[in-house]
Amino acid sequence: MESFKVTVNHNRCVGSQLCVMFLPAVFKLNEDGQSTVFATAGVDVNSVVQTAEQCPQCAIRVEDVSTGEVLFPPVELEM
Ligand code: SF4
């Protein structure tokens, strides 16, 4: 099991595909043109956080499973 959890907020995702371009092994667009998490096995959490930082909609959330800490987004960007 991965030590982190990644989710995409579909109320925010506009399908810009930036995350898919940065991490195609992790993110795929679904049939609605929105990003979904495909796989995270063997992926460095830092690369996921860096990708989440690039999302123009701040739609990607990364959480440390063991501590519950939200690695991204920071509190001020969460709505
Ligand atoms: S970068 Fe953000 S808005 Fe663009 S597809 Fe990925 S999650 Fe959606």
pLDDT digits (tens, 9 = 90+) for 24-49: 999 999 999 999 999 999 999 999 99
Query: In the chain, what percentage of residues exceed pLDDT 90?
Result: 91
Cα torsion through 19, 23, 70, 54, rounded to 10 = -40
Which domains, from first to last, does the chain contain? 4-77 (3.30.70.20)
Q: Is the CB of 60 under 6 A from ligand 1?
A: yes
Q: Is the CB of 19 under 6 A from ligand 1?
A: yes
Ligand 1 atom closest to Cα of residue 54: 1
Q: Is the CB of 23 under 6 A from ligand 1?
A: no
H-assigned helices in the chain: 18-22, 45-54
pLDDT of residue 79: 64
Q: How far apart are CA 60 and CA 38, in angstroms?
A: 13
Strands 70-72 vs 60-64: parallel, antiparallel or unpaired: antiparallel
Distance between Cα 66 and ligand 1 center (Å): 26
Cα torsion through 16, 79, 2, 43, rounded to 10 = 30
